Structure 1
C-alpha cells in the first residue's frame, strides 16, 4: 500500500506504508554448477579479505592464476553430486527458502503485515545489496539483520555484517539497523540440537559423537576471533543437555584450505584415527551450519565418511543440520522477537 504523506503537496511522490524488515543472511551458493558459474562464486568468496586475509599482491596472483583455473571444475563436480535438479538450485538455497517461509509465517501470525521477512546471501544471489534495496523500496524504515551463524567468526558473521552495512551506504534514506549477535549458547538452540541428536539416534548413545565445525586458520584464534571458544562451549552445552559422560563427544574442525595450520583436530584425520583405534561406530553432526550444504552433504558424507571407512570404520551416522525443523524455526523466531524489542 502506498500513499502521499499527510499535508504533502500534490506532486510529492507516494510512499509505501512503513514496515519493519527482518533480513536473514546465509553464506551463499553458486547459481549453477558449470565452470563459469562456479568461477564467479569462488572469485567473490575467495576475494573476501575476511576469508583470506593475505595481502592482495600475494594472494590475487595465486587466486587468479591457479585456484580459479582449476577449482571451479572440482567444486562444480562436488555441487553436482548434491544439486537439487528439480528446483535447479543448491540444497542450501532450497533449505534457506523453506526456513524463511516458516519464519515469515510465524512472524505474520504474531505481527501481521507489519514485519517483512526476506533473505540474502553474502556471496552469489540474491545479493545483500539487491535485497536491501528492495526492502527499502517496500517501506522498511527499520531492518533487523540476522546472519545464520550460531557461532561468531570474522569470516562468517562479520563479513555478512560488513556487506549489510555497505548496502546501507548506498541508500539515500537509510533505514535504522540492528544486527543479531551469535546465539550458540541460547538454551533453545541447544535444545534443538539435542533433540535432533535424540531423534536420529533413537535414544542410543553412540561410542563417539563427532561434533564437526567449519575450520579456520589457527592464527585467527590467536588474533582474537572467538569462534573456537564458542564452538567448544556449544559442544559442552550439548553434552550437558544430553546428559552424556565425558569422552563421548569429540569436537573437530573440517574444510581445511591451504598450507597454513588450522584449528585442530581435523575431522577427516580424527575419524580415521577413531576407526584405527577400534571405534568403528560413530555419529557425526555439524552445528556451525544452520542448513545442510556442500560441506555437510558432500564433504562429511563423502570425503570424511570415506576416510573413516577406509581406516576400518563400519557404522557412520550423519545427523542433519537443523534446517527448517520446527524447533529451530521457533528458536529463530524467538530470537527475532527479542531483537525487535522497542521497534514493535
Structure 2
C-alpha cells in the first residue's frame, strides 16, 4: 500500500480545487479558443473605431474646448481595448501551451479520487502515518530492547520505593502502637494494647505490605485481629482513638463525627465527650450523637427532629438556647 502512495508522488502544495479548475478549462479549450478568437476580432474592430473617433474629436477640439473630456475618455478606452487584447492573447496561449497537460490532469485527478476512496480524504497524511508505522516495525527489536531496559529500571526503582515505604511503615507502626494504646486507655479500655504488624504482600499501587491491627482489650488476653474479633464498642473507640492521634499530625480545620459513640456505655460516652471537647479547642468539631454525656460537652447544641403530616415527613434543625438545651439533655437522658 505504501508503495502505491509513494509512486503517486503527491505534493503538499498541490491544490485539488485549482487542478480541477485547470482541467475544466482545458476540457473546454476548443470552444474557448473559438470564442476568444471571436472576442479578439471584435475588440480589434472596436479599437479601430475608437481610433477614428479620437481623430475626429481632435479636429473638433479646435472649435469646442468642452470636448476635451470626451477626447480623454476615448484615449482611455483605447488603452482598455489594448489591455483586453493582451489578456485574450495570453488566455489563448495558456490553452495552447502544453497539449499533454490536459491528459496529465485527467489522469492525476482520477488517481487522487482513487486514493481518497482507498486511504481517506488526505492520502498524503496517511502516507506519513504508514511510513511512521513501518519505521516503528523495522525498529521493533530496538524498541523492545529499550522497553526491557526501562522495565528493569522501573522494577528496580519501585522495589527501592517499596523497601523505603516498608521501613517507614514499620517505624511509624511502633510509634502508632504506643499512641493508640494510650488513647484507648483514656476511652475506658484500661488494659488496652495495640500491636501493628507490617507483613509482605503482593505489590500494588500502595506498596507491597499488608498492615494488620491487633488489640488486647482485657488483661491476661492475647492480642487478636481487630478485623476478625473486636466488638462494635471496641471498633468505635479504636476508630475514635485513631482520629485523635492523626488529628495531632494532620491538624484538620474541621472534624466530623457521625455517632462515633455507637455501641459504647455511658461512662465511655462521657470520656468520648471530653476528648471531643479537647479536640474542639483548636479546630471546629461537629458531632452527631444520641448520648447526653457527649452532647453536653459541646459549645453549641443543634437539635435535629422530624415530624409527619398527611402527605410527607419533614425534618427540622434548630439551634437551642441555654434553657432549651437543658430540656433537650434531660429528654436525651430519659430516652
Question: Normalising by the residue count of structure 1, what TM-score does the alignment of the two structures yield?
Answer: 0.19
Q: Structure with the greater relative contact order (CA < 8 A, sep ≥ 6): 1 or 2? A: 1
Question: Normalising by the residue count of structure 2, what TM-score does the alignment of the two structures yield?
Answer: 0.19
Q: Which has the higher helix share?
A: 2
